Amino acid sequence: MKRHTAIIASIALSMIVTLSVVAHHAPPAYMQNDWTEPFPAFRIAGNLYYVGSKGLASYLITTTDGHILINSNLEASVPMIRKSVESLGFKFSDIKILLISHAHGDHCAGSAAIKQLTGAKYMVMEGDVEVVESGGKSDFQYGNDPTTLYLPTKVDRVLRDGDRVRLGDATLTARLTPGHTKGCTTWTMRVADTLKMRDVVIVGSPNVNPGYKLVGNTVYPRITEDFEKTFRVLKSLPVDYFLGAHGSYFDLEAKYPRFKLGEIAFFDPTGYKNFVDDREQAFRMELNKQKDTSKVAD
């Protein structure tokens, strides 16, 4: 009898544990397969390292005074990022500053956990602050979709366009490239590779997601002007190393094997130019399509 009760109790307990884990870690509906697929951590150039998964990019910038991490990714990504940082010989607890590409769960849902584990200061661009602090609820497009929400996370420093983030001997510049989110941020920095100082660009996102309303968007009236600004900014930046919030932006999978063979594969100003041109063309096509549709509706 006692044994029977113990079994029932243990089944009940495991059900509660399973349910609470599922409730907390349910994968978002927009989830893509390669987002949680591990990828080897490696040094891109100088003090800049790749510590993300196959589909979700994260970057570690090491300095004399601790480290900066760009992108916390999904909640489930945090142990993977930690493993990547440690595999390079760095301490996860030395992360002093946490930054993001933009306030979508695939780049910022892990922020609450990383803040808790490291005590890092969370620095976010103005237009995205309200979104991350509401756990995604105030997002103009996805706020009502519960599968996109994450733990609300307090921002320690509000960034504005052109602000610099400094730690030890490293300086990053936050460039506002809005539209995809209101505070979407492209990070720029300089790194020393074997030859000289180089310009690095980590693109926030230039993408018009499916369902984005570019014409007559009442919750984000400036969206089209903001995308226009993004393409102006992206085209004006000096670029040697081309990186971004997703590996797919800069062909991580194709470039990594070449990089392993000794090629400076991530040094790719031409790839950057092609990517920005392609994304601008996609934006203009979508804008024209929506303008035509709204004319018909008139």
State the nearest-atom distance from the C-beta of 220 to Zn ion, in Å.
14
User: Is 139 or 280 the residue whose CB approaches Zn ion more closely?
Assistant: 139
Cβ(49)–Cβ(62) below 8 Å: yes
Residue of this chain nearest to Zn ion (CB atom): 104
Residues 6+ apart with CB under 8 A from 92: 81, 82, 85, 86, 117, 118
User: Is 92 or 122 the residue whose CB approaches Zn ion more closely?
Assistant: 122
Using CA atoms, how far residue 179 sits from 16, 49, 140, 173, in Å, is 41, 27, 11, 19
Name residue, tokens 């790749």.
50
State the nearest-atom distance from the C-beta of 214 to Zn ion, in Å.
16
State the nearest-atom distance from the C-beta of 45 to Zn ion, in Å.
26
Distance CA 130, CA 226 (A): 18
Q: What 3-state DSSP class applies to 35?
A: helix
State the nearest-atom distance from the C-beta of 104 to Zn ion, in Å.
3
Using CA atoms, how far residue 163 sits from 82, 186, 209, in Å, is 27, 12, 27
User: Is 41 or 56 the residue whose CB approaches Zn ion more closely?
Assistant: 56
Contact residues for Zn ion (CB under 5 A)? Answer: 104
Amino acid identity for residue 162 in this structure: G
Half-sphere CA count of 156, side-chain side, radius 13 A: 13
User: Is 92 or 142 the residue whose CB approaches Zn ion more closely?
Assistant: 142
User: Is 141 or 224 the residue whose CB approaches Zn ion more closely?
Assistant: 141
User: Is 47 or 73 the residue whose CB approaches Zn ion more closely?
Assistant: 73
State the nearest-atom distance from the C-beta of 78 to Zn ion, in Å.
18
User: Is 66 or 127 the residue whose CB approaches Zn ion more closely?
Assistant: 127
| DSSP state letter for 94 | G
Distance CA 136, CA 147 (A): 10
What proportions of the chain, in percent to the nearest 5, are helix, strand and coil?
A: 40, 20, 40
Using CA atoms, how far residue 157 sits from 87, 165, 169, 251, in Å, is 29, 10, 20, 32
State the nearest-atom distance from the C-beta of 32 to Zn ion, in Å.
12
State the nearest-atom distance from the C-beta of 107 to Zn ion, in Å.
7
User: Is 46 or 136 the residue whose CB approaches Zn ion more closely?
Assistant: 136
State the nearest-atom distance from the C-beta of 119 to Zn ion, in Å.
27
